[in-house]
Structure 1
Amino acid sequence: MTVSPTISLVEVLGTMASDKYITAEELEKHNKPDDLWISIQGKVYNVTDWAKIHPGGDVPLLNMAGQDVTDPFIAFHPATAWKRLDKFYTGYHVKDYQVSEVSKDFRKLATELVKAGMFEKKGHQVIYSLCFVSLMLFACIYGVLRSDSFWVHMLSGALLGFSWIQVAYLGHDSGHYQMMTTRGWNKSMGILIGNCVTGISIAWWKWTHNAHHIAVNSLDHDPDLQHLPMLAVSSHLFKSLTSSFYGRKLTFDRFARLMVSYQHLSFYPVMCVARVNLYLQTFLVLLSKRKVPDRALNILGTAVFWTWFPLLVSCLPNWPERIAFVLVSFCVTAIQHIQFCLNHFGAHVYIGPPRGDNWFEKQASGSIDISCYPWMDWFYGGLQFQLEHHLFPRLPRVQLRNISPAVRELCKKHNVPYMSLSFYEANVHTIKTLRAAALQARDLANPIPKNMLWEAVNTHG
């Protein structure tokens, strides 16, 4: 049965007549937890109740409340998510909705990647990584249990550290739903390899990491830059900003000033014990009153780690070797902690909430790629393509190198910065950033004029 063109036209005109419009300024007023609206491609959605059960947590939605979030929505969601939007539709359109040229090109690139099936082509990286990790863990346990040599025990500790690095990459993949084919399997693998093998809660990681992706390099919204009293990447943090993420003031007191004043010297030693902070954060989140998805499973997985790890350490012959074994394993993982810092510490920072209308530009200005040979991709876990990953978080890591030329070309076309440094250059750049902030922190007598001078010279922040 065919549909009359006249009826179709009437239906279309009726739909157009029923559409209601609000301005972007009016949309911005709906930016509170109990009144949370967003727009996607100009259509307005009420996600107040959805934010409470959103798989990515409520923080990303709260940070983007009252804005058009088309580009972030495209970045974080599969095509199937579009079908679920209708139940949140308010009937309103944004009257003055506009799309920038860079956003048009970003969306075009995203469409091309979907059509090419690149989000489904995961390759065999997961299998290779799991085999590699299993081999290292077996060698570590064998060295501890079957050898009496001090140096074999230290090598075993190093292997454990390297295995934790690779497991963290796999946990990262599962957290972004890249590792397995379904959301449920990704969640299960995240708890298994995250909580059970490393002792770091996947629930804590997703809570902070999603906020980091949305508000990359916002000093008051991105938790990955909020490391006072130990580290500060910008003099703006000396003003004791209030963290939107943690809901508390990032106090810059005398102790913080002392530590930050020497942060370019203490950076690497701090990274050697940074893992302790991750364990602490895991405990604080799992035992807190805030809503934690799958809290029981996360606690159980973490308990598994704190059973097998102390038991393995106790098999060493004496306390000096046990302490050395743990320190060696932690020091090896410092390589990964340093890498995470290299990707963002030396990039542009800002104050305030993120905006959905400059998604591409903010991700580019806040991220630094690490250039390396293809045969070293396993070492960096795909995160050397930091900008590519931030633009397309669901894209399997094996595809990041393939899309890098297209992203680079897009940045060039729109005059958007694209930073790609060698591992050595990125370290130098990061230390210079930390040193600049350290020298400003030391100026106790007249900090403001000197801070302004340093901001002018370094154009950082």
Structure 2
Amino acid sequence: MKSKDQVLSVEQIKARIGAGDILVIYDKCVLRLNNWIKIHPGGDKAVHHMVGRDATDEMNAYHCDETIATFKRFQIGRVDHDWVNLIPPIQGGRYAKVADKPLPGQMPAEVAPKFPVGVVPTSASIRIEQGPIRDPQAVIENFDNVLVKKDLETWPSLDYSTQKLISQKYAELHEKVKAAGLYECPYVEYYKQLCINGGLFLYFLVFLKIRWYFLSAVAIGLCWQQLTFIAHDAGHLAITHNYNIDNFIGVLVANWMGGLSLGWWKRNHNVHHLVTNDPVHDPDIQHLPFFAVSTRLLGNVYSTYYEKTLWFDRLAKVLVQFQDRLYYPILCFGRFNLYRLSWEYLLTGKSPRGKAWWLWYFELAGLSFFFYWFFYLLIGSLETWRDRIQYILVSHIVTMIVHVQITLSHFAMSTSDLGGSESFAARQLRTTMDVACPEWFDFFHGGLQFQAVHHLFPRLPRHNFRKAQAYVLDFCRETGLKYSIYGFVDGNNKVLLHMENIGKQVKIMQDCLRSMALESTEHKNIYEKRVQQAMTETKII
């Protein structure tokens, strides 16, 4: 067997990836994750997006010291130079299957999914094209290229040395946050959270008992909103930092009390954190036919997460034009879609194996219990169909607050693909905004208002985000990165304005198509008249 310290060249690594190996660079060590990816608790998609890349920052941000200590057991070699990131196969990278095959007895992992034929890899969006608008596709490309050009001019250079410096400064920042004790969870805050949720649940029961169904529905909706924050903490292992304990808490809160799969959310959310705001890869901004937050979604994009094409069909062309007006109404019904996604996740075998094997059973039991107690026992106990429908709608519409909180920090931010050289920290700050609010109101936002801080330190307890913000601001001043922070009203206005601008691009595109069709018809009519005239003149002669 070859030594783990053997130096692998770029060509050797490319060849092994081409043969199906899942290779990731960590601290100059080449890790082969073929077998591990099948049982990775965070899902397989998150790993696929790191293939061929230096994932040191991402892996340190997402894992505790105990887990980090196990990484090098997957080492098959090392690199002896500064690594320049490759394009992962899931993002369109292509590598020939040549020499240096996997070791005997080890089957190559399947690297999937890949772009279908005819779809240009997202790195092509760096091209800045100019010229007159000749067709609808030019409308899309020109608008997107203006945004990409703005990002390239506004953010630090993408050259290797600049991004490497940002990465080094981020590592120093991470050590400062650890040294400040900010990874220690202030459990007293969960006592306060227990009081809030307990009070809301009590109001829900009291109002239900005295048949004030509207207020009872509002109370349970607000309770679900607050429970979401606990599930979010548990999903990131930010409560006890123990995998089994935090997942038990998370499933109990999310599945049993809220009817949503924690496992589905984690698989989805981990990808979102790694390829934030990429229209092709980030499922958190893939909401066609209802929303399009990037012009790159206005053209049948293949989603590498859902492994299907997101068609920009007739319905999408109508809805997206008015998406700024439909934003809040559609979010009112977002929870119903989460039910579908949760059941789909559990029933299609996407749940991780390994030490997480027990979660599938616990989650399935939890979803079943929720639908039994809420939709059968509670809703079934109401006297009339009018009461039942009203109760379901009101309780679910109230949770719209959570969907606004979640989308607010990303929908108006950059969706540009600046290439594989961009560092982890730079991408998170470019694609994420914070929302300012007074400290006493933090409970309402549940930490989600500090999304930029959270994206830099996913495992950090949310009650320490405000303290960590000061360190992040110093980091931004030192590196030249921007820190976007808006008030809640200003943030909402920014989102609506951005969605309105995308909607206008659709209208321009539709107008171009109509103009082209009209022009084509006019040319056809002129041609037919000339043919008829020529035929008439021929007969006369």
TM-score, normalised relative to structure 2: 0.75
Aligned to 1:184: 244
Q: Which amino acid aligns with 1:60?
A: A
Q: Which amino acid aligns with 2:314?
A: R
- Report deviation, 1:28: 5.0
Give the match's secondary structure for 1:420.
Answer: strand
The separation in 2 between residues aligned to 1:217 and 1:29, in whole angstroms, is 30
Aligned to 1:210: 270
Q: Which runs of 5+ in 1 are unaligned?
A: 1-16, 450-461
The separation in 2 between residues aligned to 1:130 and 1:170, in whole angstroms, is 10
Change (3 A) 1:330 1:42: same
The separation in 2 between residues aligned to 1:448 and 1:415, in whole angstroms, is 45
- Native 8 Å contact 2:263 2:351 kept in 1: no
The separation in 2 between residues aligned to 1:117 and 1:376, in whole angstroms, is 23
Change (3 A) 1:305 1:253: same
Aligned to 2:51: 65
The root-mean-square deviation of aligned C-alpha atoms, in Å, is 2.2
- Report deviation, 1:341: 1.0
Matched, 1:220 2:206: no
Give the match's secondary structure for 2:434.
Answer: strand
Give the match's secondary structure for 2:448.
Answer: coil
Aligned to 1:305: 370
Matched, 1:144 2:130: no
| Cα displacement string for residues 391-435 of structure 1 (whole angstroms, at most 9, x for unaligned residues) | 000000111100101112212222212110011001100001111
- Native 8 Å contact 2:182 2:460 kept in 1: yes
Aligned to 2:462: 397
- Native 8 Å contact 2:236 2:459 kept in 1: yes
- Report deviation, 1:25: 6.3
Q: Which amino acid aligns with 1:114?
A: K
Matched, 1:199 2:259: yes
- Report deviation, 1:31: 4.3
Q: Which amino acid aligns with 1:51?
A: I
Give the stretch that moved more between structures: 220-229 or 116-125: 116-125
The separation in 2 between residues aligned to 1:28 and 1:360, in whole angstroms, is 26
Matched, 1:53 2:39: yes
- Native 8 Å contact 1:27 1:67 kept in 2: no
Give the match's secondary structure for 1:21.
Answer: coil
The separation in 2 between residues aligned to 1:19 and 1:343, in whole angstroms, is 43
Aligned to 2:23: 37
Give the match's secondary structure for 1:249.
Answer: strand
Correspondence for 2:328 among 233, 246, 268 = 268
- Native 8 Å contact 2:41 2:352 kept in 1: no
TM-score, normalised relative to structure 1: 0.88
- Native 8 Å contact 1:233 1:437 kept in 2: yes
Aligned to 1:430: 495
Change (3 A) 1:377 1:32: farther
Larger Rg: 2
The separation in 2 between residues aligned to 1:240 and 1:330, in whole angstroms, is 31
Q: Which amino acid aligns with 1:268?
A: Y
1:3-152 → structure 2 map (5 Å cutoff):
19-24=5-10, 27-28=13-14, 30-31=16-17, 34-97=20-83, 100-145=164-209, 147-148=210-211, 152=212
Q: Percent identity?
A: 30
The separation in 1 between residues aligned to 2:201 and 2:19, in whole angstroms, is 45
Consecutive aligned runs of 4 or more in structure 1 exceeding 6 Å deviation: none
1:377-396 → structure 2 map (5 Å cutoff):
377-396=442-461
The separation in 2 between residues aligned to 1:347 and 1:448, in whole angstroms, is 31
- Native 8 Å contact 2:293 2:498 kept in 1: yes
Q: Which amino acid aligns with 1:318?
A: T
Q: Which runs of 5+ in 2 are unaligned?
A: 84-160, 354-358, 516-541
1:154-173 → structure 2 map (5 Å cutoff):
154-173=214-233
Correspondence for 1:175 among 235, 240, 246 = 235
Change (3 A) 1:74 1:90: same
The separation in 2 between residues aligned to 1:231 and 1:31, in whole angstroms, is 35
